[in-house]
A and B are shown apart, each in its own frame.
Chain A
């Protein structure tokens, strides 16, 4: 893709106003899907027909039936109820991890980009150290320190996602510190934190929202995988990953215990990814043009 190509396309494209008329289809589908899933998780106490941890030992590994709409697991627990409640740790841990990465990553990135020089180089080196490892190592180290459970894996996933946020925030800050409005703010004696918050951060918001949307499905996958390994949500409480690992041993007798959470994870990830793609398309004009 050359520079002239870009200009040519831009010249041919209709004026910007008409282009943002309708939200991207992927954005609509993704947002609706994610919204519905969040709603299901929120309404779990109302929708779940049973206590998710209640064992019906006479009805183990049942296929779907009117009594148990999605079947039961190896302890006779209702899969629909466990699914609804199991969505909560996946969504909550995923959200918490991305928030953690977003807030701290942005702060670090803005500081690095604003001060440049030594702080920038130092921060860069530390972030390099963080991404030199497969994320699973960080997760294992935290599980060893804090014991298995949501706290450790939220921090681990957050740390794994943090460098990208820092990089985005740093790039935007670098691009804006030299601009006239920042210079004006400095000259009238605005404090550094105020300049960062009021004059630089607003420019970083759109790319950070996109990054947030990209990180979300990754965080949900990571949470589900760590719970599958037994490092996240602890039994008997349900989580999507742990439901699959429980069902794995009983696959020859019933596949529903595995199929139900897997299908849910797949739909959730798909919706989150569509949402991210749609947001990226809507908020990043350069990308919209490139696709054209």
Chain B
């Protein structure tokens, strides 16, 4: 197990290093001279040169990368071009919001995904199974921005039950916050629900055909006991990976959903930073999101190794 952990840790560090190099390289190669962008086109060549020295642009690329990485390790990403606030604070605020949204989405996804999967598996081949299959297929073919917009049209514009976007203000009660969160959370959870439902259905059907289930039935155990204590427990093991990977996606991939609902999270922050060419913010936010995503994948791998001994002995 220790070997397995160490090899996964090595991979994690390698991926983090690669991510930082790519992000650094991308920002270095963006069109436009940062010194010129800061000073405007009216600046004299001498002023531009001084600004370049001040920004450290006269150093060699590896030097600049080392300095940048050192700063990043101390969570110092500089100040946002557009707001002047420290990038790390901006990211921390946005991440707190994304975390709230992603947790609710994960909860919705786990509950509904598992429930739908079990229902479909227990009614295999009957109309309920087919209905669930059809519904999940439709939900899957609707992009998040379309689903989110449809939810806004139905629940905010037509029925007026829920606020269309944003997060309200700080005097919100928990219930108010939930009213703001529910539509984006459902939108974000939808692909998760679909993937999980399909996965749980397949693995539960498989588990129900195993010999130990036949044995349990022969012993005269009730259907409920067989499903819950025998089949389901085994069926859920592979589901852990799927769920874990999806949670990584929830944290990193909320860009579209957050944009639909003008939700002040990390995803929307990145998109805004990219479209307004706020490079310090882009660098910080991308590096942070990549790290969070890689950490999630890493933890899922470890959890999977713990649950299934075959994985860690496979020389991984």
Chain A residues proximal to chain B, CB less than 8 Å: 129, 132-134, 136-137, 140-141, 143-145, 147-148, 217, 221, 224-225, 228-231, 241, 244-245, 247-248, 251-252, 255, 258-259, 262, 265-266, 269-270, 273
In whole angstroms, what is the CA distance A199 to B29 when docked?
43
The residues of A that contact B311 with a CB separation of less than 8 Å are: none
Given contact pairs A133-B290, A245-B259, A251 touches B157 in the complex (Cβ within 8 A): yes
Given contact pairs A136-B255, A225-B256, A273 touches B141 in the complex (Cβ within 8 A): yes
Q: B119-148 vs A: 1/0 string, CB under 8 Å? A: 000000000000000000110011111100
The residues of A that contact B297 with a CB separation of less than 8 Å are: 132
Kindly identify which residue among B15, B22, B137 contacts A141, using a CB–CB cutoff of 8 Å: B22
In whole angstroms, what is the CA distance A258 to B297 when docked?
36
Given contact pairs A245-B259, A248-B260, A265-B143, A136 touches B30 in the complex (Cβ within 8 A): no
Using CB atoms, name the residue of chain B closest to A241: B145
Kindly identify which residue among B141, B146, B158 contacts A244, using a CB–CB cutoff of 8 Å: B146
Given contact pairs A148-B275, A245-B259, A266 touches B146 in the complex (Cβ within 8 A): yes
Nearest chain A CB to B183 CB, angstrom units: 13
Are A144 and B152 touching (Cβ within 8 A)?
no
Are B143 and A231 touching (Cβ within 8 A)?
no
Are B26 and A144 touching (Cβ within 8 A)?
yes
Interface: B249 (CB within 8 A): yes
Kindly identify which residue among A144, A230, A251, A265 contacts B146, using a CB–CB cutoff of 8 Å: A265
Are B153 and A140 touching (Cβ within 8 A)?
no
In whole angstroms, what is the CA distance A259 to B22 when docked?
39
Kindly identify which residue among B15, B29, B143, B286 contacts A132, using a CB–CB cutoff of 8 Å: B15
**Size class of B's contact patch?**
35 or more
In whole angstroms, what is the CA distance A143 to B282 when docked?
12
The residues of A that contact B282 with a CB separation of less than 8 Å are: 144
Are B260 and A140 touching (Cβ within 8 A)?
no
In whole angstroms, what is the CA distance A241 to B145 when docked?
8
Are A144 and B274 touching (Cβ within 8 A)?
yes
Residues from 257 to 310 in B contacting A, C-beta threshold 8 Å: 259-260, 270-271, 274-275, 282, 286, 289-290, 293-294, 297
The residues of A that contact B158 with a CB separation of less than 8 Å are: 255
Residues from 15 to 34 in B contacting A, C-beta threshold 8 Å: 15, 18-19, 22-23, 26-27, 29-31
The residues of A that contact B138 with a CB separation of less than 8 Å are: 270
User: Which of B141, B142, B164, B259 lies at the interface centre, i.e. has the most chain A CB atoms within 10 A of its CB?
Assistant: B141
The residues of A that contact B253 with a CB separation of less than 8 Å are: 134, 136
Interface: B227 (CB within 8 A): no
Given contact pairs A132-B297, A145-B26, A225-B256, A140 touches B274 in the complex (Cβ within 8 A): yes
The residues of B that contact A251 with a CB separation of less than 8 Å are: 149, 152-153, 156-157, 164
The residues of B that contact A134 with a CB separation of less than 8 Å are: 249, 252-253, 293
Known A136-B255, A224-B145; further 14 A-B contacts with Cβ < 8 A: A132-B297, A133-B19, A133-B293, A136-B252, A144-B27, A145-B29, A221-B143, A225-B145, A231-B271, A244-B149, A247-B149, A251-B157, A262-B146, A262-B149
Interface: B67 (CB within 8 A): no
In whole angstroms, what is the CA distance A244 to B143 when docked?
12
In whole angstroms, what is the CA distance A273 to B259 when docked?
26
Given contact pairs A217-B141, A221-B143, A265-B143, A229 touches B255 in the complex (Cβ within 8 A): yes
25 A-B residue pairs with CB within 8 Å: A132-B15, A133-B19, A134-B252, A134-B253, A137-B289, A137-B290, A140-B270, A144-B26, A144-B27, A147-B31, A217-B141, A224-B145, A225-B143, A230-B275, A244-B145, A251-B153, A251-B156, A252-B164, A258-B149, A265-B142, A265-B143, A266-B146, A269-B141, A270-B138, A273-B141
The residues of A that contact B146 with a CB separation of less than 8 Å are: 224, 244, 262, 265-266
Are A228 and B270 touching (Cβ within 8 A)?
no
The residues of B that contact A245 with a CB separation of less than 8 Å are: 145, 259
Interface: B1 (CB within 8 A): no
Interface: B39 (CB within 8 A): no
Are B18 and A273 touching (Cβ within 8 A)?
no
Nearest chain A CB to B73 CB, angstrom units: 21
